[in-house]
Amino acid sequence: EVPDVGPGALDHTAVDPDGFEHTVAALCARDGCSPVEVVGGAGDLGADVIATTVDGRRVVLQCKQYAEDHRVGSQDLQRFGGTCFTVHEADVAVLVTTSSITAPAAEYAATCGIVCVDGEGLAAWTDQLAPPPWEALPVDPA
């Protein structure tokens, strides 16, 4: 079940990691995705949320709720990169974190085509000051 969320109503740091997955899922639903499924937990192979965009793309999101001083590193991205496209068949792969991303991790993500949303980007998306992350990628013409 995906909660209904209005702009500014989410405090991503006040919830536990499971709750964080649900707040990210709620953002996907708010921005037009349907269905949206929270998959996270042991054995999720990196997919915490799987959503389908209005235009039919499969978005696989990994959610990392970290303290500000705990940055997302290359290892996190490599684990996700190893499953997001091959196992989960993502059209768009997104890593969302409450903290920041190291430069090597950001480079790896760019090479693999993974969209990264850091704490600032998450705040902007939450407050509808930035488009949803799946709109950050150009759509391949059919």
CATH number of the 17-129 domain: 3.40.1350.10
Residue 133 has pLDDT above 90, yes or no: yes
Cα 71 to Cα 126: distance, rounded to the nearest angstrom: 20
- Confidence at residue 44, expressed as pLDDT on a 0 to 100 scale: 84
| Interval 57-69: pLDDT, tens | 999 999 999 988 9
| Interval 75-127: pLDDT, tens | 999 999 999 999 999 999 999 999 999 999 999 999 999 999 999 999 999 99
Question: Any alpha helices (H) in 31-133, and if so which ranges?
Answer: 74-81, 103-112, 119-126
Residue among 24, 31, 15, 27 nearest 47 (CA): 24
pTM of the model: 0.88
Other CB atoms within a 10 A radius of the CB of residue 106 amount to 18
